[in-house]
Amino acid sequence: MAVIAGNWKMHKGPSETREFFDRLDAGAVGKDHELIIFPPVASLSAAVSARRAASTQVGLGVQNIHWEDGGAFTGETSAPIAADAGAHYVLVGHSERRHVFGESDRETHDKVAAARRHGLVPVLCVGETLEERREERVDEVILRQLEAALPALGDAKERFLLAYEPVWAIGTGETATPADASAAHETLHVRLADAFGATVAAGIPILYGGSVKPANAGELLSAPHVGGVLVGGASLDPESFVAIARAGR
Ligand code: PEP
């Protein structure tokens, strides 16, 4: 079972969200894959209602949370508010959060901890920049980003997902080769096995993200250690999102 997740970023208000679910043929995906959508937080409640109306099994999440449970943090969303609004998952440490908004490893740790406290499933995103790849520092960077969050995961018996998203491949049309994705996923998997044991690590899906499209999803989803995909641009269109899932058969 692969996880096919769509990160809508700052796209689709409530009306477009309803239209997406009206057109989403989740039945065409069958039970082989788990679908998750991360709409903008202002569209989450529309997504909850539209999903119910369409009787689909699509999971819903938010793209970010604050690490505090509440307080004077204008413009932020806390884990309990996100959970109450219908989120089940949360992206933590997406490269745009890290590189555009300056989110630190410490903050990603605290956000994973907040997600855990309120029953949200964290999807921790890690990935190297082009410069770091050229300097052959991929493993160092992604392991540092993972390491920072590990203390917040306890024994990792509750659900947790990891996403390897090379920064240079996000929204650029550049994609890691299946071999490069596999190598990074294996590095992450070995560290998870070391931290939590082989059985728990085997149950932690590691998604690949970075310009995934229907045309390249099949080979990426069949690469070793790739447990799913996190899709930005190509998840905005329901047909292309379903085509990506179907490519993974
Ligand atoms: C993302 O936003 O996580 C992402 C991978 O974007 P894209 O598929 O557009 O590269």
Task: Fill in the amino acid letter for 187.
Answer: T
165 CA to middle of ligand 1, Å? 8
72 CA to middle of ligand 1, Å? 31
Q: Structurally, how many domains does the chain consist of?
A: 1
pLDDT, tens digit (0-9, with 9 covering 90-100), for 86-98: 999 999 999 999 9
Among candidate residues 142, 83, 143, 85, the one with its CA nearest the CA of residue 117 = 83
Q: Locate tokens 């044991």: which residue?
A: 197
CATH of the domain at 186: 3.20.20.70
Q: Which residues line ligand 1 (CB under 6 A)?
A: 7, 9, 165, 170-171, 209-212, 230-234
Q: Please give the positions annotated as active site.
A: 94, 165
In this structure, the residue with its CA closest to atom 2 of ligand 1 is: 232
Pairing mode, if any, of strands 59-62 and 2-7?
unpaired
Question: CA–CA distance from 224 to each of 34, 138, 146, 183 (Å)?
Answer: 18, 18, 20, 9
Ligand 1 atom nearest to CA at 9: 2
Residue 42: Cβ-neighbour burial (10 angstroms; 0-12, 13-18, 19+)? middle
Note the Cα 14 to chain centre separation in Å.
21
Contacts of 225 (CB under 8 A, 6+ apart): 182, 185, 186, 188, 189, 206
In this structure, the residue with its CA closest to atom 6 of ligand 1 is: 232
Q: Give pLDDT tens digits along the chain (249 positions).
A: 899 999 999 999 999 999 999 999 888 887 779 999 999 999 999 999 999 888 888 999 999 999 999 999 999 999 999 999 999 999 999 999 999 999 999 999 999 999 999 999 999 999 999 999 999 999 999 999 999 999 999 988 899 999 999 999 998 988 999 999 999 999 999 999 999 999 999 999 999 999 999 999 999 999 999 999 999 999 999 999 999 999 987
Phi, psi of 239 (to 5 degrees): -70, -45
CB–CB of 64/77 below 8 Å?
A: yes
Give residue 214's domain range: 2-247
In this structure, the residue with its CA closest to atom 1 of ligand 1 is: 232
Nearest 5°: the CA angle 133, 134, 136 is 65
CA distance 157 to 147: 17
16 CA to middle of ligand 1, Å? 19
pLDDT, tens digit (0-9, with 9 covering 90-100), for 112-155: 999 999 999 999 999 999 999 999 999 999 999 999 999 999 98
197 CA to middle of ligand 1, Å? 30
